[in-house]
Chains A and B, each alone.
Chain A
Amino acid sequence: MGRDVLGGFEHQILLSILRLGDDTYTVPIVLELEAQTGREAAPAAVYIALRRLEKKGLVSSRLDEAAGTRGARKRRVVSITPAGVDTLSESRKALVTLWDGVEERLDATK
């Protein structure tokens, strides 16, 4: 993994895509983020983060003309790339290692 660490928000978005499955788009991601974090997510922020992730090669996107259930409107659908999956699992590994043995302390300080 390069020097490009995964930002917190980007991390959350990648996880959301993973949860939602491939070929998802901004709206479900926003709703998923809000549902899971309990905080309002701005669509523009999600859009910007997706573009950034795409630039890093962690997600791929394409314009989908006729997707969805309500008529044919354009969407930019995104999927996580193998590199994205790798980055996530590396990041998870690192986090799990770091968490190892400190969870009790977390509880103890409560």
Chain B
Amino acid sequence: MSTGSAPPRLLAGVLRLALPRRDRDVLLADFAELFLYRARRDGRIRATAWYARQVLVAPARLLVARDSRNVVASLREPALRRRIVNAPRDMFVLETLWQDMRFAARTLGRSPMYVAVVVVTLTIGVGINATIFTLVNSLLLRPLPVLAPEELVEIYSFDGEIGIPITSSYPDYLSIRESATTISGIVGHSLLSANLTSNGSAEMIYGEFVTGEYFNLLGIAPHLGRLIGADDDRVPGGHPVVVLGHGFWRDRYAGNESILGEALILNGRPYTVIGIAPPQFSGLVHVFDSQLWIPATMADGIDPLGIQSRQDSPGDTRPERRGSRWLMLKGRLAEGMGVAQVQAEMDAIFSRLAAEYPAANEGWGSRVLPATSVRVHPLADGYLAPVAALLLGMVGLVLISACTNIAAMTLSRASARSREIAVRLALGAGKARLVRQLLTESLALALVGGLGGVGLTLWLRGLLIRFQPPTELPTTWSLPVDGRVIAFTFALSLAAGLVFGLAPALRGSRTNLVAALKEGARGTEGSGRRLGVRGGLVVVQVAVCVVLLVGAALMVRSARSATDVDLGFDPNGLLTYTLDMDLLDYSPEDAGDFFDAASTRISAMPGVRSVGRASRMPLSMGFNTMNIYIEGLQVTSGDPGTQIDAATVDGLYFETLGVPLLRGRTFGTQDTPESIGVAVVSLALAQSHFPNGAVGKRFSTGGLDGAPYEIVGVVGDTKIRTVGEAPRPYVYYAYERSTPSSATLAVRLDRDTPQLRAAVRQELLGLEPELVFLDDSDMLGILSMALFPVRFGAAMLIGAGTIALLLVSVGLYGVIAYSVARRSREIGVRMALGAAHADVLQLVLRRGLGLVAIGAAVGGVAAGLLSRALGSVLYGVDALDPLAFGAAFLILLLVAGLANWLPARRAARLDPVQALRAE
């Protein structure tokens, strides 16, 4: 049967919800049959209209029928009783609602300015809230696009010493997979970056390493070909296969199906394309858009990204070493199991592993968390959640401010309408009915504002998307406006409608009949309490505005001073090239020779001051920690040592970055692989662990019998992980003694010009035409990524502060203008009795500025309390920074003064004759 004969599915779905459970199917079938009959007789359009009407009417009818049983029993009057029970057209609820709506439309139609201002104000208030919610939603709330995400748990390895949950090793993953019974399956994954070469050009791509059960456990089906399975992840280094992300396949290969079976050259090795992932799946890391997936057993020729930790342990490749932790683990709960059971089992497994493999696993435990509670990583989440709360709180304040304005306007409208309301009350209208009528008006406006809010959200979302984090990682920063966002927007506007509608409605219905009818629209100040309420609203607004302005000023100061924070090195004119010679099959010795040659040739170029080499640059993504054992301190056999951030650098690194040598020496030609191990430590490490001088002291990296290192120098502290951090202990090892095949070349220029950059790059390619640049950046780029949160926050707060300022000036202007209008007679009398212009000006200004002063004081205290919440993103600025507070107050005073002065001036120019005659 064609679909033309069935009622529209959406309508049928709604109807289904409304029908009583007992005969739901029967009734639905009855409705469908009648629909069919009508469609044949009257045509589908009229039948649909009929059906839609039934959808609207049937629930109310059924509801009335159910409730009326009790009502009917209480009714003595048989006629009325019959009327209620039998009259099928008595649609109490819906009918009066319809009446109220029509009435609201008529009344509102008479004051288009009021409607316009309310709708625009609400649209702004609701729109920016919904926009921020969209951001929070896509970052924190949207579930992973996988099968039953609520059944997934995160399993972290947990080092008791540093106390943070981190990644796990591949052998540990295998051990858990073999013995765990509280989970029905487990997957490991990690971000990766690889160099894709084709036709002589190279590009960096980002994807995920995944274990064999990954796609199967997550319930992902291929778009084309097949996905990585258990058989693709058995032998370390033995499965050169790759699954492409749908977007990557579409953009890079134009969706060409013949790519299946072809080989991609990744880090110099061919990987066969076996399948394409479905479009909606972009990997397990939020916001990150995985371009491809590779078996985890291949994680040696290609390096994982993200949190890693390494302890010496046997094994030729990364997947074979138990001490190399780089995999994020997710398990699926077995039937009837919970997080607590998994944690208990993991505790047992980890303590068994610690006993079996003390070298790699001593001191390691586990931490199990429901996957829905973890967004990026427990560490990052601790940072994201308060930022999200802060953003939502900030725009929430703007909405409060908007509601305050609207409430004030509605209030003055209600008092202007008090006569109308009194007449209706006198004619016998119920108070409840009146409140409902007034509320209907507010809610109707709120709905229109909600619609506007959705529109504004769609537009602002476009702006936000342009505010992409400055990262090379492909992101799914698409901020979808989904059902959750729409629901949030409308819930918010309805709540706002209730807030700004309820107080005026209640007040309106409480109108004193006699007084209102007698007084008419006489132009006096009235009780004065009315301004009291409105004045109170302005105080709230000013306070909210001060909080936002202070926040904005602090963030701006922070963003500015973050660039002035002493990083411990000079980021200007510092180029960084991360090169991996292993990809070109260089032996470690050849790689060492290449880096030596590159350093020599580039430092000889005009305009280049010096060239240094490092395994990791400060503030770049990821970090590397090592456990060290300090001689004479706490070394017992079970001692896990002290975990310290570390990097390997050459002697010229310090000079190139501008890190000062404080004591001893840096590295030089006397440090060779044959000589004793040497290390340079940061000032923070020297002070915290070597109170009697660090130079000459020793430590080791592998327990009691590990290789010893002698500290030969102490250098100044630099920022390591974040710009805001306190001085962090840091160990530098000597490049001269080791020959790693990958390194970052740091090139200090006299003057940074594009020509010079191109020349340096050319020089490197001259040494090796097929050179792979894992990263070709500069220190300012790395810095801007590190500073992204504070800059983003500053932009957001400035936006919110500006809107709040606008709202407060409109609100203040409205209150003062209203007061002036109400008091025009009084002012006229005063002027007739000889008051000067200045006196009137003063009279009006005093009232407005008094409100501003109270609001500013309240807001100042609130801002002082709240600004501490910004602490984690404030660099070099005190939370109570007087300059920020001063600037906020000054801006507020200027704008509020203007909003106050305009109506005051009008009052002062009042013609007393006119004012008195108007009476």
Contacts and interface: CB of A to CB of B under 8 A. Distances in A.
Interface in B12-44: 23, 25-27, 29-31, 33-34, 37
Nearest to A55: B69
Interface stretch (B56-64, B526-534, B538-546, B795-803): B56-64
B82 interface: yes
B86 A10 contact: yes
Given A42-B57, A74-B26, A30 B62 contact: no
Which residue, B27, B30, B82, has most C-beta atoms of chain A within 10 A? Answer: B30
Interface string B63-96: 0010000000000001000100111100000000
Contacts of B30: 25-27, 43, 47, 75
Main secondary structure, interface of B, reads: helix
A75 B26 contact: yes
B54 A43 contact: yes
Contacts of A5: 78, 82
Given A5-B82, A9-B88, A42 B29 contact: no
Interface string A19-58: 0000001110011000000000111110111011000000
Contact of A43 (B27, B65, B82, B85): B27
Nearest to A51: B65
Contacts of B57: 42, 44
A49 B25 CA distance: 18
B33 to A, nearest CB: 5
B78 to A, nearest CB: 8
Main secondary structure, interface of A, reads: helix
Contact of B61 (A30, A45, A76): A45
B34 A30 contact: yes
Contacts of A30: 34
A53 B57 CA distance: 21
A27 B54 CA distance: 14
A8 interface: yes
Q: How large is the interface on B (under 10, 10 to 19, 20 to 34, 35 or more residues)?
A: 20 to 34
Contacts, number: 62
Which residue, B37, B78, B85, has most C-beta atoms of chain A within 10 A? Answer: B85
Nearest to B1: A70
A55 B35 CA distance: 28
A96 to B, nearest CB: 21
Contacts of A74: 25-26, 29
Nearest to A44: B58
A73 interface: yes
A43 B34 contact: yes
Contacts of A98: none
A27 B37 CA distance: 10
Contacts of B37: 27, 31
B61 A42 contact: yes
A108 interface: no
A64 to B, nearest CB: 9
Nearest to B37: A31
Interface in A72-108: 73-76
A63 B26 contact: yes
B61 A48 contact: yes
B86 A7 contact: yes
Interface of B: 23, 25-27, 29-31, 33-34, 37, 54, 57-58, 61-62, 65, 78, 82, 85-88
11 contacts: A5-B82, A7-B82, A9-B87, A27-B37, A30-B34, A42-B54, A43-B58, A47-B23, A48-B88, A52-B85, A75-B29
Given A43-B58, A73-B29, A75-B30, 7 more contacts: A7-B82, A43-B30, A44-B54, A48-B61, A49-B88, A51-B65, A52-B65
The 7 closest A-B pairs by CB, nearest first: A7-B86, A45-B88, A44-B58, A48-B65, A26-B30, A44-B61, A73-B29
